[in-house]
Chain A
């Protein structure tokens, strides 16, 4: 008898649902209103953002290998179209929160490469002044609420951001991202229930890259073919998306946003994507998937390359423009690495700042006294 508890099944290759497979060539979503409405300049800007994420991440690898980045470094290479497509649709009352693979979202909301790189190297000029690291980017002025290290722990927070938007009577939403491994966390299901129960304008975005760390989806999720479909258990709308096609990501996400903005209803989106590097830089990536699989994705489904091809065909981009966009993204990433190198560390005195708002903002109104930081 095949005992699932005692047999470690060899993972089969990570494949996307049949319905998402499409012939090579232009995206069938190019003419969807949200994409047709884009000017050439906006399309180039979207492409540029994806390229910037890629070159930033690749520069991070070098900085990590130079020993300048500690802790965990989870790269977004291969998943660029997810953050780019979804975040490119957002307006002033739309919010973003995600898990620990958070660099792409940060760059998409408008964080600078400098503050992002300096955070990775633990410098005072980092977005969180060297207190957060790779997994904890924040930019609340850009509606970006992190960067959360515990798998699925951000799902209730994102639901709460959506609750606040609704409480204020604003037409907005919160996009709460998570990986495919997060869907088995209790906090995610509790968030689903509250979102559906209270009609909150939250969009749960499952970035399904096939592996929760080194455990394939089929080895971690019961009924693995339909992670988004679990939404049905809560009466929520859901959709699946080919995450290698930024136009498709935008088209289908726009429907969920409409549902959030106009009806204050939640949605679960499962976006099929792929990461080229290990779970983190600490993952040697040798035990749970074939090199051949990575190669196939890189060669046939690369989101940056596919969009580039699409825009070249549509004569929005030229070869020269592609080259210069890539060149300047690489230069920007190199400059960020230099900026991070040259930036100072936080000081010992900085260790005890930013623990309590009341302590950092003492004044006549302060109602908190006594010893709060102990020796």
Chain B
């Protein structure tokens, strides 16, 4: 199986879907002539031309709203946000319009739009460019949110998102763009709402999504080598819909749970996951649920400190040992 990068996997998903469906349009700042701010869309303009690959002005509320309107008439826009942090200036469009229109029209209208782009800290760019809004957005019924952690999932989830008839927001991670992995050449999708066990284990379940999965896998290695602990890592892949059964099955097997995410702790994704576990697997737990998230402050600029603000393997190991104690 070919080994390609997370970035190339995203591009492959878009290329295949552009070929499959003439209604698919790629739109965003610098996606065409500039080849993408992060080169995710590199070469697509040359291959598909300016009707399908469209550069927009710096005008998120305008072009995202335009994409939503076009999707109501059957266009399937894949909108790139240079950073998900920039979604905040288009919040009304993203939440009120895309998220509510099916409901408010009693099901008469639907909105098959994809918005994708990086949503992560850890890049030394300060608070305004480091937001991770998956929990905020997933808290709105009507919206779907996915966070791929591997190249395989990046391609499969993006393809599923493009074919989905509801608004799907794909949150990527710039730090993962160069990560490589096996990705099939052929057409496949990763169904939205299905978690993946990235590592099997028996003593502790770590639930994570996005880059926190990679951090957790590193921590699991250390825990096994240095502490003889067998850790299972559940990658949510999708925040909403949420694969509750896979989380519960793993916790029922290991009896201990540690939740790791790069969000700030208050009302993060794992607040919901913790509620789920205590509500439906309380009797299976041998210890209180543990949690690791970013230190609760706006993202700090200083790189040395930012690396400590985000979850990192040693911190996950420490938290895991507490849950195991």
List 23 A-B residue pairs with CB atoms under 8 Å apart, sorted by A's residue number.
A136-B105, A140-B108, A146-B104, A150-B96, A153-B65, A156-B65, A157-B93, A159-B62, A160-B66, A160-B68, A160-B72, A161-B69, A164-B69, A167-B70, A191-B65, A194-B57, A194-B63, A354-B103, A357-B112, A357-B165, A368-B192, A369-B241, A371-B241
Pairwise interchain contact A146-B102, C-beta atoms closer than 8 A = no
Pairwise interchain contact A146-B101, C-beta atoms closer than 8 A = yes
Q: Mark B42-72, 1 if CB is under 8 A from A, else 0.
A: 0000000001000011010111111111111
Interface size class of A (residues with CB under 8 A): 35 or more
Interface stretch (choices A61-69, A71-79, A123-131, A207-215): A123-131
Pairwise interchain contact B96-A155, C-beta atoms closer than 8 A = no
For A127, give its contact among B25, B70, B106 (CB under 8 Å): B106
Measured in the bound complex, the distance between the Cα atoms of B103 and A95 in whole Å is 21
Q: Mark B132-173, 1 if CB is under 8 A from A, else 0.
A: 000000000110100000000000000010011110000000
Pairwise interchain contact B104-A190, C-beta atoms closer than 8 A = no
Also in contact, A193 and B96, with CB within 8 A (given A136-B105, A160-B70, A373-B141): no
Pairwise interchain contact B93-A153, C-beta atoms closer than 8 A = yes
The CB with the most chain A CB atoms within 10 A, among B25, B105, B191, B192, is that of: B105
B2 interfacial contact with A, CB 8 Å: no
A360 interfacial contact with B, CB 8 Å: yes
Q: Which residue of B lies closest to A189 (CB)?
A: B62
Q: Which residues of A contact B116 (CB under 8 A)?
A: none
Q: Which residue of B lies closest to A197 (CB)?
A: B57
CB distance from B18 to the nearest CB of A (A): 14
Q: Which residues of B contact A149 (CB under 8 A)?
A: 96
Measured in the bound complex, the distance between the Cα atoms of B97 and A155 in whole Å is 11
Residues of chain A having any CB pair with chain B under 8 Å = 95, 97, 126-132, 136, 138-141, 145-150, 153-165, 167, 174, 186-187, 190-191, 193-194, 197, 353-358, 360-361, 367-374
Per the 8 Å Cβ criterion, residues 201-249 of B in contact with A are 238, 240-245
Q: Which residue of A lies closest to B27 (CB)?
A: A163
Q: Which residue of B lies closest to A346 (CB)?
A: B106
Q: Which residues of B contact A157 (CB under 8 A)?
A: 65-66, 68-69, 72, 93, 97
Q: Which residue of A lies closest to B66 (CB)?
A: A160
Extra inter-chain contacts (16) besides given A95-B73, A161-B72, CB under 8 Å:
A128-B108, A131-B104, A131-B106, A153-B65, A156-B61, A159-B66, A160-B72, A162-B69, A164-B70, A164-B74, A167-B75, A356-B144, A370-B242, A370-B244, A370-B245, A374-B242
Per the 8 Å Cβ criterion, residues 77-103 of B in contact with A are 92-93, 96-97, 101-103
B264 interfacial contact with A, CB 8 Å: no
Q: Which residues of B contact A354 (CB under 8 A)?
A: 102-103, 105-107
Measured in the bound complex, the distance between the Cα atoms of B69 and A174 in whole Å is 11
For A167, give its contact among B25, B62, B164, B242 (CB under 8 Å): B25
Q: Which residues of B contact A174 (CB under 8 A)?
A: 69
